[in-house]
Structure 1
Amino acid sequence: MEFGDKIKELRTKNQLTQEKFAIRLNVTRQAVSNWENNRNLPDLELLILISTIFHISLDELILGGNNVNNMTEKLIKDGSKTRRAKLNMVTTLIGAFLLIFGFACIFIKANSVEYVDASGTLHENFYLLPIGFLFIFAGMIVFLVTGIKFINDSFRSKK
């Protein structure tokens, strides 16, 4: 059973008009009509309120049985978008950290003092340059891969 059919069935079973049902949910009658005609879907807060009003579990309201309906597909899609956004944020933070650390290594190398001690040993922190460039390169790669993945996902979602 589709989500809209389930909402309409529950509303008529409880002898509520679309207007009365909309008032109880603090939405417009058009919103209820759109839900019943599967043109639009309510958000999670409204789903919880609907399940409370009709004394029905969220599983039964959303899934409506064993078949996957529009509401289930929407929830799955929203969950994957949230995971993707979190992944993008984490990789962006990692890339920024790598770039900052790389520039810090180069800055420290540029401002450090090189000297020869009394025994003739040269004291130089030469290792900071390759490490700095390595971190800058890694940060740029992370940003590049994240950007390409984001653009690829944007084109896929438009299709």
Structure 2
Amino acid sequence: MEFGEKIKELRTTNQMTQEKFALRLNVTRQAVSNWENNRNLPDLEMLILISTIFHISLDELILGGSTVNNMTEKLIKDGSETRRAKFNMITTLIGALFLFLGAAFFFIKAHSVEYIDSSGILHENFYLLPTGFFFIFIGIIIFLTTGITFVNSYIKSRR
């Protein structure tokens, strides 16, 4: 059973009009009509409120039976999109950190003092340049990988 059919069945068996049901949920009658006609779906907070009103478990409300309906598909899709967004945010922050560290190493190298001590030994922070280049390279690779992955998933979702 589709989610819209389930909502309509629950509402009619409890002898509620769309207006009364909408007032209990603090939404418009058009929102209830859109849910019942499967034009859009309520968010998770609204699902919890609906299950409380009808004294029905979320499993029964969302799954509606043994088959996967459009609400279940929406929840699965929302969960995967949330995980993907978190992953993109974390990788972007890591890439920015590497770029910042690379720039910081260049800044330190530019402002550090190189000198020869009385024994004739040169004191220089020679490791800062290759390390800075390495960190900037890694940061760019992370940004490119995240960007390509995002564009690829966007193109797949548009199909």
TM range (shorter): over 0.9
Asked whether 1:143 is paired with 2:159, we answer no
Structure 1 counterpart of 2:96? 96
Moved over 4 A (4+): none
Structure 2 counterpart of 1:112? 112
Structure 2 counterpart of 1:123? 123
Write the distance in 2 (CA, Å) between the matches of 1:20 and 1:91: 47
Q: Deviations over 1:65-116 (max 9, x none)?
A: 1111000000011111111110111011000100010011111111111111
Structure 2 alignment gaps of length 5 or more = none
Structure 1 alignment gaps of length 5 or more = none
Q: Which moved more, 1:20-29 or 1:124-133?
A: 20-29
Aligned residue for 1:67, secondary structure, equals: coil
Q: Deviations over 1:27-81 (max 9, x none)?
A: 1111111111111111111111100000000010000111110000000111111
Write the distance in 2 (CA, Å) between the matches of 1:29 and 1:112: 69
Residue type at the aligned position of 1:36: E
Percent identical: 78
Write the distance in 1 (CA, Å) between the matches of 2:122 and 2:28: 79
RMSD over aligned Cα, in angstroms?
A: 0.8
Task: Tell me the CA shift for residue 2 of structure 1.
Answer: 0.8
Aligned residue for 1:40, secondary structure, equals: coil
Q: How many residues align?
A: 159
Superposition pairs of residues 43-82 of structure 1, within 5 angstroms: 43-82=43-82
Task: Tell me the CA shift for residue 153 of structure 1.
Answer: 1.1
Q: Deviations over 1:1-20 (max 9, x none)?
A: 11111111111110111111
Structure 1 counterpart of 2:8? 8
Write the distance in 1 (CA, Å) between the matches of 2:87 and 2:24: 38
